[in-house]
Structure 1
Amino acid sequence: MNPTKPDVAGRADLDLLLRRFYTAAFADPLIGPFFTRIAGMDLEAHLPRIADFWERALFRTAEYGGDAFAPHAALHAVEPLTAEHFGRWVQLWHATVDGLHAGPNADRAKAQGERIALALLRRLAGEDTSGGRLGFVPLAAVELRSAA
């Protein structure tokens, strides 16, 4: 653990982390258009719901009854989301987490982000996530992860 950076400790940390991440994601030339042009996402309106999702994923302390797949499927229907897009998302997520935090929760946030990205990619591609290609990892994620 890095003594100069605190671990992700709760909702306030998640709020800052997500705001930083989405600021970078919106500005990114590869994935930014999915948020800005295609989805027309209003970050201020969606941030509490996204924070609920991550608070539930990391700490099991928030209620999140949404369907995280549906908005991604809607985007994918307009413009296909590829391994390159999810790899970039993972790269930005790791960089944001690492820039602010270090520790077990930060590590769990990065691992959970990778699992979510891979699960979304597989589901959007119509792959069976219960078997068959369980060892598949998007090449973009591997390349971006190794560069971090």
Structure 2
Amino acid sequence: MHDIQNQDDLYLLVDEFYKKLLADDAISYIFTDVVKIHIEEHLPILVTFWSQAILGTGGYTRNLTQIHLDINAKEHLTPELFKIWLGHFYQTVDEHFKGEKAEQIKTQALSIATIMQIKIAQEKDK
């Protein structure tokens, strides 16, 4: 098993990860009913995000926090949903990759999930 090395690796990771999310009834409704993502359009955006975060390629210009706050305004993103998201993410990374970048992307995912939950809680307290 090799480490994450390029955008093709990230595409595999994100594609397999979303297959898990969309197959899990406990979280899939966020993507199918609330956000109504078009997976073919969404995957390249996610690859660009993770490529910037892990490989330093740049190119991601969206406001990740605001996107999640907007989703939360439609449907509360609970700590349980973040736990499910992280579980599927970790599992997908571990099934396909091993190494420094694989560990880095899992740490980054945990940081993102933590920050999003803090921002959502702050919004609720306003």
Does 1:106 find its partner at 2:102? Answer: yes
Shift in Å, 1:49? 1.1
Shift in Å, 1:18? 0.2
Shift in Å, 1:23? 1.0
Shift in Å, 1:70? 2.2
Shift in Å, 1:91? 0.4
Distance 1:71 1:34 in 2: 13
Which of 70, 80, 85 is equivalent to 2:81? 85
1:3-18, aligned counterparts within 5 Å? Answer: 5-18=1-14
Shift in Å, 1:47? 1.1
Aligned residues: 123
Which of 16, 22, 27 is equivalent to 2:18? 22
Name the TM-score, length of structure 2 as normaliser. Answer: 0.94
Letter in 1 for 2:50: W
CA RMSD of aligned residues (A): 1.1
Letter in 1 for 2:95: G
Distance 2:96 2:105 in 1: 12
- The runs of 4+ residues in structure 1 deviating greater than 6 Å are none
Name the TM-score, length of structure 1 as normaliser. Answer: 0.80
* Higher gyration radius (CA): 1
Whichever structure has more helix as a proportion of its residues is 2
Shift in Å, 1:61? 1.0
Corresponding residue of 2:32: 36
Unaligned segments of structure 1, at least 5 residues: 128-148
Distance 2:71 2:93 in 1: 25
